[in-house]
Amino acid sequence: MKHIVVTVTNDLTYDQRMIRTCSTLVDEGYRVTLVGRVLEESGELIDRSFLQVRLKCNVNNGPLFYAEFNRKLLLYLGDVDFDLAVACDLDTILAVTRAAKSQGVPFIFDSHELFTEVPELDGRNLVKSVWSRIGKICIPAAARCYTVGSSIAAELSRRYGKTFEVVRNVPVLSHDGIHSWEERDAVIFYQGALNAGRGLEVLIDCMAEIDGYELVLAGEGDLSHTLRQRAQEKGLESKVQFLGRISPGQLPELTGRARLGINILEPRSKSYYYSLANKFFDYMQAGTPSINMAFPEYLSILSKDKTGITIDALSTDKMTLAIKSIIEDQGLWSRLSKNCDLAREKYCWEKEKEVLLKIYEETLRN
């Protein structure tokens, strides 16, 4: 049985993409190990069909963390026999490249984003240049490369002279019926990290102008405390609810009970501009109309499958108008929700996984 080792830097608990990927590979007959890290706040892992390993680091952010994690990952990989390794993003690729070369086996590069263009690297030219250099050294050595959307694939191919295929971050097809307007709660729902650049400050401010609805945010991040404080300072505690981190298994029910899903980003980086977020498809699977940014990937899909609307800029006025245009027009909401129902068989993991399995099968065969 071929052994595949997949590597990430998160704590494995909430990474829906990697849980789907690893489970699919196991179902196909591979032995899979997913390697990440353990954090102070990490809870117990849920038993899954693949082995889960979490490395402990003494430093958990900044350059020293990445250096320590890659050193420990390299040591771990040196003690494991495997037939294929997978580096998820640039932060694991150094160790994976060296380990794969040492064992004489191929590796795959799975890019979840345009790593060198994330907002966290704005103004940090030295750090950005280091990551770019790592990419130019390691990515050409990969047997195959893939990413989450066509726009990022084109940009990565241009930068690194390597073909990037597309495996979209879509959910498993839901066979549950879609809840009607009357069956849903008066909830505006956001799932994802509470980080800078997500437009969450604007979203909270909008609630001052929206009556009869509650904004529910599922997730945590760098702005967790700041956003809670903002809601309190503006007297919106009764309109804004923070759920904290929610397990992937709980999200579909929450999403399916909301009347509106939010998928917004500030156009402050190429990584955001070219993004195709999993929440966009999660809302679609739940039959929940969504508000999205007028970025290339969303415009392309929504021009054909009208499951939501877009806004061209983030401001309290524009966001408030967009929200009201859906929650105050039940006819529009019903049309968008019906379109979600029609589209969810097209954008589901059952179809997307065939692309993934072909990449892995061909890599191991060659």
List, as one string, the DSSP characters of 10-36: S-SSS-HHHHHHHHHHHHTT-EEEEEE
Give the residue among 1, 2, 51, 53 at the shortest CA–CA distance from 23. 51
Q: Strand, helix or coil at 122?
A: coil
3-170+348-365 falls under which CATH superfamily?
A: Glycogen Phosphorylase B; (3.40.50.2000)
Task: Order the strands of the 308-311 sheet from edge to edge.
Answer: 240-244, 214-218, 187-191, 260-263, 290-293, 308-311
The third-level CATH classification (topology) of the domain covering 187-343 is: Rossmann fold (3.40.50)
Give the residue among 18, 47, 252 at the shortest CA–CA distance from 148. 18
Residues of the chain with CATH 3.40.50.2000: 3-170+348-365, 187-343
Residue pair 343/88 in contact (Cβ under 8 Å)? The answer is no
Tens of pLDDT along the chain (366 residues) come to: 999 999 999 999 889 899 999 999 999 999 999 999 998 888 889 999 999 999 999 998 888 999 999 999 999 999 999 999 999 999 999 999 999 999 999 999 999 988 888 777 777 888 888 899 999 999 999 999 999 999 999 999 999 999 999 999 999 998 889 999 999 999 999 999 998 889 999 999 999 999 999 999 999 998 999 999 999 999 999 999 999 999 888 999 999 999 999 999 998 888 899 999 999 999 999 999 999 999 999 999 999 999 999 999 999 999 999 999 999 999 999 999 999 999 999 999 999 999 999 999 999 998
Residue pair 211/320 in contact (Cβ under 8 Å)? The answer is no
